[in-house]
Structure 1
Amino acid sequence: MQKTVEATQRDFNTIRTGRANASILDKVMVEYYGTPTPLKSLANISTPDATTILIQTYEKSTLNLIEKAISLSDVGMTPNNDGSVIRLNIQPLTTERRKEFVKLAEKYAENNRVAIRNIRRDAIDSIRKQEKAGEISEDESRDLQDQLQKLTDQHIAKINDLLKEKEKDITTV
C-alpha cells in the first residue's frame, strides 16, 4: 500500500503546475539506438528559473532525438534547440488548462485508491482462506480484517492529502 502512495506522488509530479519542474519530464522516453530510454538517463535536466527547463545532453548526437521525443510526448511544451542545449519555456496555465490538470490528478488518485482497495480485498481473501483451513480462529480473522481496514483507511487518507496539496499547487496562480 505504501508503494501505491509513492506511485501516486510520482504520478502527481508529472503534472504541470505553471512552475518549472524537472519531474514533468520523468515519463518522457527517447528512442536511443532502438531502445526506449528515460530522458534523465541521456541528459542533465535543470530549472534555471521558474519558467524554464534546461536540458543539457551528455552526447551532442542525442539532441535531435530528445527534441523529437519531447515533441511527441504529452508534456504539452515545444522544445527550443539552440544546437547545444534544449530549453522548454513554461507558459502560464489558463483556467481551463488548470481544470484539466486537476481532473487528471483526481483520476490518478482514484486509480491508486482502487489499487489500495484491491490489495485489501486480496488480503481479506487470504485471511478468510486461513480461517476456513483452521489456521486461525474466527476472532483472529475479525481482528486482522479490522487492522487491515484501518491500514487501508490510513493509506487512502494519505492519497487524499496528496491530492489536496496537488490541487492547491495547480490552482495557485
Structure 2
Amino acid sequence: MSDDPASILKDAKTKMSKSVEVTKEEFTAIRTGRASAAMFQGITVEYYGAPTPLNQLASLQFPEARTVIVTPYDKSAMAQVETALRDSDLGVNPTNNGDTLRVVLPALTEERRRDYAKLAKTKAEDGRVAVRGSRGNAKKALEKLVKDGEIGEDEGSRAEKELETLTKTANEQIDEALSLKETELETI
C-alpha cells in the first residue's frame, strides 16, 4: 500500500473493478438458452498426456442457437475431444461424423434454470465478498495513515466516504449484471 489517500483509493477502485469484471466473466460461462464460446472455456482435453484447453485443440462454430460444431485441428484427438465434451458439466452427448463433432445442447428445464440462477447468485456474492475485501484493506490503510498522523482526521473521513461510494458503485454493477443474467435465464 502507498502512503497517501488518493493512491489508496485508486488501488481500491482498480481491485473493485477487477472483481466486477471477474464476476461478469463468470456469468458468461453460465449456460442460457443459446450456445456460446464461453460455455466451453473450462473444458480441458487430455491430449498426449497433458490437459489442454478445448479452444486450443478445436474450432467452435455456432450454426444455430443450440447447436455447436466442434472441429478438432488434429483428427487423431477426435476421441479425446468427444470424451471431454461428454464428461463436461454441459450435459451433452456429441455426435461424431468422422470430421466434426456436432453438439446439440438440450433445452433448459425449469429446474435447471433455477439451478443456474442459484449459481449466478453465488458467483455474484463471491464478487461482493471480493469487493468488501478490497474495501476492508483500503479502510485499514486509511485508518493507519490517520493513526500515524500522516493525514488529518477530516481528510481520513473524506477518503473513507469516497471509499464507501466506490464500494456501493461496484456492488451496484454486480447486482445489475446478476439481474441481466437472471432475465436471460428466464427467457425461453
1:43 to 49, 58, 70: 58
1:145 to 135, 157, 160: 160
Aligned to 2:127: 112
Are residues 1:78 and 2:87 paired?
no
1:34 to 11, 29, 49: 49
1:141 deviation in Å?
1.1
Query: Aligned runs of 1:152-163 on 2, under 5 Å?
Result: 152-163=167-178
Gaps of 5+ in 1: none
Q: Matched residues in 1 for 2:29 and 2:20: separation?
A: 15
User: 1:42-86, CA deviations, whole angstroms, 9 ceiling, x for partnerless residues?
Assistant: 111121111201111111122222112222222222222222111
- Aligned positions, number: 173
2:74 to 33, 55, 59: 59
Q: Flag as ranges the 4+ runs of structure 1 deviating above 3 A.
A: none
User: 1:86-113, CA deviations, whole angstroms, 9 ceiling, x for partnerless residues?
Assistant: 1110111111111111111111111111
Q: Matched residues in 2 for 1:141 and 1:34: separation?
A: 56
Q: Matched residues in 2 for 1:80 and 1:122: separation?
A: 51
1:6 to 21, 24, 27: 21
Aligned to 1:122: 137
1:148 deviation in Å?
0.9
1:121 deviation in Å?
0.5
Secondary structure (helix, strand or coil) at the match of 2:134 reads: helix
Gaps of 5+ in 2: 1-15
Larger Rg: 2
Q: Matched residues in 1 for 2:124 and 2:164: separation?
A: 19
Are residues 1:20 and 2:20 paired?
no
Q: Matched residues in 1 for 2:51 and 2:147: separation?
A: 48
User: How many percent identity over aligned positions?
Assistant: 41
Q: Matched residues in 2 for 1:135 and 1:35: separation?
A: 53
Aligned to 2:184: 169
Report if the CA contact (8 A) 1:22-1:53 is conserved. no
Q: Matched residues in 1 for 2:87 and 2:37: separation?
A: 18
| Most deviating of 57-66 and 46-55 | 57-66
Q: Matched residues in 1 for 2:164 and 2:46: separation?
A: 44
Q: Matched residues in 1 for 2:163 and 2:127: separation?
A: 17
Q: Matched residues in 1 for 2:163 and 2:45: separation?
A: 41
Match for 2:59: what amino acid? Answer: N
Secondary structure (helix, strand or coil) at the match of 2:103 reads: strand
Greater relative contact order (Cα < 8 A, sep 6+): 2
Backbone CA RMSD of aligned residues: 1.2
Secondary structure (helix, strand or coil) at the match of 2:119 reads: helix
